[in-house]
Structure 1
């Protein structure tokens, strides 16, 4: 069952609510939900502590009684709390929505693709060496970066156009750079892939993610790229979540793609969620069902919880996404997610 959803506070001062929106508090600043519940529990019974958003720095504290919320707000708002590392909390009342969704609930994080049981998904760790990683980072740092809202990108072969969520096949940028030639050779020698995989890749997007910056849920546009997408992680780790929406909730929704920051609303859509840890120097392959029918998503966290460990993301994460540009319409077996077949 999904976790309760709360409305965003907009200057609300509703003392009838037992729910508090607490800023400057959460896993990203080193405070576990258990510690937060213990501190707030001195003012009354705490029903639960929930993530307020994906930042990891804001939580919802839900009390059993509204009087407990009133006491906690009065005693803790704007004041340093020694039990929470001396942090000054910023607290407002919050109101629970009648709708419930499961998008804020954390899911177990796997460390191998086989644990997820998503057809067509593969992960190979230590795909490159630390020295090769350093050389790849040095090569892209010598090139020109294009600035998006929250990160920088570079395109090779063909440019991905975020406005149309596709590539312009009439604007060929040239062969892929020499610094990825070893990666391409290694990809072609994969022996662990099921079925025939087309690895004649001709498009590269390099993304640089600052700490805490992720990627909205999306499926790479079917008509833009063929069925094999490779993503090499460099410099820093992250987790990637996969979501498969039910046909009934997805009908009529647009197929999203790539890197548009303005994605569809996830509210009231039923979906299955699975998550995997991507360490530096690993490569992920999306093919078949995992490529065509599952949205992939990088949470906007500075700290990821993997099994029983909290792993802080590095000062940067750089990904190399290698794809083959599609020259005709997509004829995949997942028409409900396919822009070519709608």
Structure 2
């Protein structure tokens, strides 16, 4: 089962709710979910702390008992909290929603890259074993995660800066960690991809979508910045399945920045295709699929794959391996290229 979903009603919910909506609080302001749970736990048993939205500055604190929520709101609302860095919290009651799962999808989900017919796109199932998956998860969990609004990340080789969607090539973080060496060796052995594989990959971003974020949280449509990375991009999926959707916008509607959410997608003209990424699979983006197609993870909690319904896991980790570009991009898709704008 996925995590519960909460709403903050336009009018204040009555005091029978054990759930609190807390603003000015979250990883984006330097407060971990563990720390928030610890502070609110002084008022009663906390069932969980969840992201209220994608901002990283608002959370839902869910208590076992409504009396605990009442006490916490009374003591913490509108007052500086020394245990949370002196921040003044803005709190009101929240209610748990029981939305029906919408399993209808406007685009069919494929289970193989060949079904999509997107040039340069490959998907290899069971790229690693279950034991190797466990070892990789253990390796990254021993290292510190950096908190972002939607996920937690680790960067190796070079840090990817999300505010500018690029890397600083002058700041080398060191060689890639030893735990990805078997993956790199296996990638180099993929001769069946007709030369689409970069032999030298020097940047790794590990993303951790964990149970402190609702399973419906995904990624917005984007193309990995052309000037940041060259050649092929590999994405290894660990421990949780998901759907990845690809979009190719027409030249007439493309203006550099397409819709960042599904709310205004009707105003743009694009082709949509989706693929199912099972755990332990690796996805390769090269050529047209890398340079001209936007990719993203839809904000679903349940995905319909063929005739099956698959619920998003409580955790998904992805390893994205890339090669940092040292000069401007000279690809064949200038309308999508920041180097050739």
Sort the TM-score into its range (normalised by shorter chain): 0.5 to 0.7
Please state how far the C-alpha of 1:211 moved relative to its aligned partner. Answer: 1.9
Check conservation: 1:20, 1:92, Cα contact below 8 A: yes
CA distance in 1, matches of 2:90, 2:340: 49
Distance 1:175 1:36, change over 3 A: closer
Please state how far the C-alpha of 1:195 moved relative to its aligned partner. Answer: 3.5
SS in structure 1 of the partner of residue 169 of structure 2: strand
Distance 1:176 1:37, change over 3 A: closer
Equivalent pairs, count: 337
Deviations 1:220-259 (A, max 9, x none): 0000001200000000000000000000100454799999
Please state how far the C-alpha of 1:260 moved relative to its aligned partner. Answer: 17
Name structure 2 gaps, 5 residues minimum.
none
Distance 1:329 1:97, change over 3 A: farther
Please state how far the C-alpha of 1:199 moved relative to its aligned partner. Answer: 2.7
Please state how far the C-alpha of 1:313 moved relative to its aligned partner. Answer: 1.3
Q: 2:220 aligns with which of 216, 228, 237?
A: 216
Name structure 1 gaps, 5 residues minimum.
263-267
What is the 5 A alignment of 1:217-232? Answer: 217-232=221-236
Q: Which residue of the partner structure matches residue 310 of structure 1?
A: 309
Please state how far the C-alpha of 1:194 moved relative to its aligned partner. Answer: 2.8
Q: Which residue of the partner structure matches residue 283 of structure 1?
A: 282
- TM-score, normalised to structure 1's length? 0.66
Please state how far the C-alpha of 1:61 moved relative to its aligned partner. Answer: 31
CA distance in 2, matches of 1:44, 1:236: 32
- CA-based RMSD of the aligned residues comes to 11.7
Please state how far the C-alpha of 1:315 moved relative to its aligned partner. Answer: 1.2
CA distance in 2, matches of 1:70, 1:237: 38
Distance 1:35 1:331, change over 3 A: closer
Distance 1:202 1:269, change over 3 A: same
CA distance in 2, matches of 1:227, 1:64: 51
Q: Which residue of the partner structure matches residue 39 of structure 1?
A: 39
Deviations 1:26-46 (A, max 9, x none): 999999999999999999999
Which stretch has the larger CA shift, 199-208 or 28-37?
28-37
Which stretch has the larger CA shift, 163-172 or 76-85?
76-85
Distance 1:60 1:240, change over 3 A: farther
Which stretch has the larger CA shift, 126-135 or 92-101?
92-101
Q: Which residue of the partner structure matches residue 65 of structure 1?
A: 65
Please state how far the C-alpha of 1:332 moved relative to its aligned partner. Answer: 0.2
CA distance in 2, matches of 1:113, 1:89: 47
Check conservation: 2:78, 2:89, Cα contact below 8 A: yes
CA distance in 1, matches of 2:274, 2:42: 35
